[in-house]
Amino acid sequence: MKLAIVTNKNILNYQEVLVSIKDSLNKVGLEYDVLSVDSLKSGYDFVCSVGGDGTMLKTSRFYSKTSTPVMGINLGRLGFLSLILPDDVSNLGSIIKNKKYTLRDRMMLSSEHCFALNDFVIKGHSSARTSKFKLYINDILVSDYIADGIIVATPTGSTAYGLSAGGPILHPGFDAMVIVPICAHTMTARPIVVPAKEVIRIESADELLDLSCDGQITVQEIRQVVIKSSEYKAKLAFPEDYKFYKVMRNKLHWGISPVSE
């Protein structure tokens, strides 16, 4: 079994945690290479992503093409995808060698420009003002929007930008996409959840579009964006006791009453 440890030089304390990860893997005799998130390569059986959810997104997109499991060690803020804490890495080698983890396949989105695990965000190229968008599903005109933009998210991405923009949380076991207008200029513009088999097309009535993929890849000045479910799935490795609803409560403080001072 050969592992890759993916690091992000922009994370301040990654080197200290990396030493602990190496010690843990060495104790159980696992081979590994240390890679930069900016210089990924294939050929591994298992991958550890050391950083925040941004590092995890980039790593997971790359290794989805080979169905390689990716486990996240959280050095960031929220850590919705990266659930192993730095204090737990002393047991990491045993967890991986003895397969004491659970695997989850997560659907992804694709377009002709890029693909995403979390979401696509479409905005007018002139970001200083609102834009006019046309939303088509399976070539049927569904809605016209005057808005700051449109988010198309996977269930995994429904807890990210889409949630902040007023969209619903989707359980990651769904094969579905959620379409969320950003700051729409009408109260009738509401998020829409559609099956993963649908084909979404977004055009602008008055300008070219910019597309952001997982907030990491930007494609500028395109005439339309056609979005569908990707042929690839991200394969994520979580702790054995992983429960989505538990993570939702702990990370988002879902349903927790405010504490009085």
Tens of pLDDT, residue by residue over 21-48, are 999 999 999 999 999 999 999 999 999 9
The pLDDT of residue 186: 83
- pLDDT tens digits, 77-114: 767 888 888 888 999 999 999 999 999 999 999 999 99
The pLDDT of residue 256: 67
The pLDDT of residue 258: 62
The pLDDT of residue 122: 97
Q: What is the DSSP letter of 186?
A: S
Give me the mean pLDDT over the 124-130 stretch.
81
The pLDDT of residue 95: 95
Is 45 catalytic? The answer is no
119-158 burial, b at 16+ Cβ within 10 Å, e below that, comes to bbbbbbeeeeebbebebbbeeeeebebbbbbbbbbbbbbb
Higher-confidence residue of 78 and 5: namely 5
CATH topology classification for 2-99:
Rossmann fold (3.40.50)
Which member of 53, 148, 210, 214 is catalytic? 53
Q: Is a pLDDT exceeding 90 seen at residue 253?
A: no
Structural domain spans, the chain = 2-99, 110-230
Q: What gap in Å lies between CA 58 and CA 214, rounded to an integer? A: 8
Least confident of 9-23, 43-57, 171-185, 247-261: 247-261
Out of 2.60.200.30, 3.20.20.150, 3.40.50.300, 3.40.50.620, which CATH number does the structure's domain 110-230 have?
2.60.200.30
Query: Average per-residue pLDDT in the chain?
Result: 92
Give me the mean pLDDT over the 236-251 stretch.
88
The pLDDT of residue 85: 86
Q: What gap in Å lies between CA 178 and CA 88, rounded to an integer? A: 34
% residues pLDDT > 90 (the chain) = 77
The pLDDT of residue 257: 66
Q: Is a pLDDT exceeding 80 seen at residue 64?
A: yes
Q: What gap in Å lies between CA 247 and CA 252, rounded to an integer? A: 8
Residue 249, sorted as left (phi over 0), alpha (psi -120 to 50) or beta, turns out to be alpha
The pLDDT of residue 80: 81
The pLDDT of residue 247: 86
0.95 surpassed by pTM: no
Q: Which of 69, 70, 36 is nearest to 53 (CA)?
A: 70
